[in-house]
Amino acid sequence: MALELKQSEFEIERDKNKCISCEVCVRQCSNDVHEYDSDQDTLYSDNSKCVGCRRCETLCPTGALKIRNREDQFKTNYNWTSSHLSNIYRQADSGGVLLTGMGSDRAHTVYWDHILFNAAQVTNPSIDPLREPMEIRTFIGRKPERLDFEINRNKDSKESLKDTNIKLKTKVPPQLDLSTPIMFSAMSYGSVSLNVCKSLAAAASEFGTYYNTGEGGLHKDLYGYAKNTIVQVASGRYGVDVDYLNKGAAVEIKIGQGAKPGIGGHLPGEKVTGDISNTRMIPEGTDAISPAPHHDIYSIEDLAQLIYALKEATNWLKPVGVKVSAVHNIAPIASGIVRAGADFVTIDGLRGGTGAAPQIIRDNVGIPIELAIASVDERLREEGIRYRSSIIAAGSIRSSADVIKAIALGADAVYIGTAALVAIGCHLCQKCYTGKCNWGIATQDPYLTKRLNPEIGTRKLLNLLRGWSLEIKEMLGGAGINAIESLKSNREHLRGINLNDRELAVLGIKHAGEAW
């Protein structure tokens, strides 16, 4: 019964004059869109199968291909949009939950784009990062409230401290030491290919920052990057044992993810092949299902137990943090997490990416990261416990400006996931859940994964980190600041534009045009 119009989202234009029938497109497209008819020596394309990843367009040697968005799939209707209609048609066919990949593409307000950063003029000189030191080194971990010293000096003597014996009495808990306030977000081996993991790990280690294993365990090829690895413990506990925990520089307990708050994960059995089954420590071919909650964490005191169990297991040598998705009640939740003993809290916002999530959840559950950081930072300060944990912001950090704004709102550092994948070729087609990623990223098909050369991937990621770090330094210097710690929660340097009073109040910033 074909009652509905099966519209394709994309239209493929092939310029016959340019096409040389080399069949690159045929080989490159894992969705079998292109087909070569040898009788006629012509190429045909099936628009309806195209996902718009632009792999063929990018690789076509003569530039014969153009992939165009089809805006006019259905009659224009601001309420019943094309996406609602096609979703209903799809569900009427399948009766299932619609899946999607990557972060939400809905037109939710992107607060980053409504926030402007400051610069110094006259009363305060701006600083040139090319001539003056500009420090963006960042530490993640629990900070004691104060430092006590033992100073052996006769109070009345005149000798200066230089000649006396100072001892630090306070023990500073373990810290992650970042050369730039940017880390790579959790992406598991399984959801992405090993070549992606290698690129992330190598870039993090060369640049002096960290990448996160996600919930898929740690492949032995990545052991060498242990010093720059954050190992994740999620509800499925895949690949978690004491060696795994001790292979990382820090441990992150994953409670939730911005793209699918309250939802677990599912890696289908057909993807659980040799290496992945080893790394996740589950039999080949079995579904890897991460339950929605941790079945040993039904309340905050259970979380505290797990945090301390992990600290014990790692001899108190590594920071243990907790990742949650940004939900309405995020401020008290974060406060509870800090009190439960977490050394850092990762907050993943509404627009955060994913390998696979129900579209309805991704687009409708949670709150934007900007509002979440502002309210969490504020709440933790009101309660006097902000110093105890670092805050890592995640969920669609798209540029160095987003990083600067996140820190000025109150984050210590950010995680980037999507941005990192884009740097190594992702074109945001949002079909990661199909396992057919043409860019060799969200797939385990060896034919596709070899498209990403980890050395080139590493270089691209290093370039991205370098570029963003330079931009951060430029912006800091422009504002007359020469150390990133002086930007933290420094909302005086932010102004809102086109925001209403409520939004400004939640963000804790003034509107553009309002002076200090």
Partner 1 sequence: MNRLNNINKINRNTQEYFSRFRIPSGCAVFGVVNESGERFSGQMVMDGISVMHERSNGLGGGFAAYGIYPGFEDDWVFHVFYDDMETKRQTEDEIARNFKILFGEEIPTVKISQIVNPPVIYRYFLKSKRNGDAFETEEDSIMDFVMHVNRDIRGAYIVSSGKNMGIFKGVGFPEDIGRFFKLDQYKGHLWTSHGRFPTNSVGWWGGAHPFGLLNWSVVHNGEISSFGTNKRFVSRFGYECTLSTDTEVITYLLDLLVRKQKIDIELVHLILASPLWEDIERMPVKERDILKALRILYGSALLNGPFSIIAGSSDFMYALNDRIKLRPLVAARKDRYLFISSEEAPIRRICASPDHLWHPDGGEPVIGIVRKKEIKKEIKSVRKIQDNKKFTKLVNTEMISLNKSRGDLNGSGIKAI
Residue 38: name its binding partner from partner 1, ligand SF4, none (Cβ under 5 to 8 Å by kind).
none
Contact pick of 9, 31, 178, 331 for ligand SF4 (by CB under 6 A): 31
Measured from the CB atom, the residue of 215 and 378 that comes closer to partner 1 is 378
Name the burial class of residue 125, with classes exposed (0-12), middle (13-18) and buried (19+) by CB atoms within 10 angstroms of its CB. Answer: exposed
1-9, 366-374, 439-447, 477-485 -> range binding ligand SF4 (CB under 6 A): 439-447
> What distance in Å separates the CA atoms of residue 440 and residue 185, rounded to the nearest whole number?
18
Mapping DSSP onto H, E and C, the string for 416-480 reads ECHHHHHHCCCCCCCCHHHCCCCCCCCCCCHHHHCCCCHHHHHHHHHHHHHHHHHHHHHHHHHCC
The bridge status of strand 320-325 relative to strand 250-254 is parallel
CB count, 10 Å around CB of 36?
16
Determine, following the binding rule CB under 6 A, whether residue 431 of this chain makes contact with ligand SF4: yes
Determine, following the binding rule CB under 6 A, whether residue 267 of this chain makes contact with ligand SF4: no
CB of 11 to ligand SF4, least distance (A): 10
Contact pick of 54, 254, 386, 473 for partner 1 (by CB under 8 A): 386
> What distance in Å separates the CA atoms of residue 490 and residue 405, rounded to the nearest whole number?
10
Determine, following the binding rule CB under 6 A, whether residue 53 of this chain makes contact with ligand SF4: yes
> What distance in Å separates the CA atoms of residue 491 and residue 295, rounded to the nearest whole number?
39
Residue 224: name its binding partner from ligand SF4, partner 1, none (Cβ under 5 to 8 Å by kind).
none
Determine, following the binding rule CB under 8 A, whether residue 480 of this chain makes contact with partner 1: yes
> What distance in Å separates the CA atoms of residue 222 and residue 228, rounded to the nearest whole number?
10
CB of 366 to ligand SF4, least distance (A): 20
CB of 454 to ligand SF4, least distance (A): 16
Site string for ligand SF4, 343-382 (x = CB under 6 A): ----------------------------------------
- Of 410, 399, 389, 393, which Cα lies nearest the Cα of 487? 410
Measured from the CB atom, the residue of 375 and 449 that comes closer to ligand SF4 is 449
Contact pick of 488, 495, 496, 507 for partner 1 (by CB under 8 A): 488
SS3 of 65, please?
A: strand
Determine, following the binding rule CB under 8 A, whether residue 124 of this chain makes contact with partner 1: yes
Rule CB under 6 A: which of 56-115 touch ligand SF4? Answer: 56-57, 67, 101-102
> What distance in Å separates the CA atoms of residue 194 and residue 508, rounded to the nearest whole number?
42
In the numeric block, which tokens belong to residue 54?
A: 């632009």
Measured from the CB atom, the residue of 142 and 280 that comes closer to partner 1 is 142
Q: For the chain, how long is the longest CA-to-CA vector?
A: 101
| DSSP assigned state of 30 | T
Rule CB under 8 A: which of 208-237 touch partner 1? Answer: none
Question: Residue 439 in contact with residue 432, Cβ under 8 Å?
Answer: no
Interface positions with ligand SF4 (CB under 6 A): 12, 28-29, 31, 33, 50-57, 67, 101-102, 421, 426-432, 437-439, 441-442
Q: Which residues of this protein are in contact with partner 1, per CB under 8 A?
A: 120, 123-125, 127, 132-133, 135, 137, 139, 143-144, 146-149, 151, 156, 158, 160-161, 166, 168, 170, 172, 175, 381, 384, 386-387, 408, 479-483, 485-493, 515-516
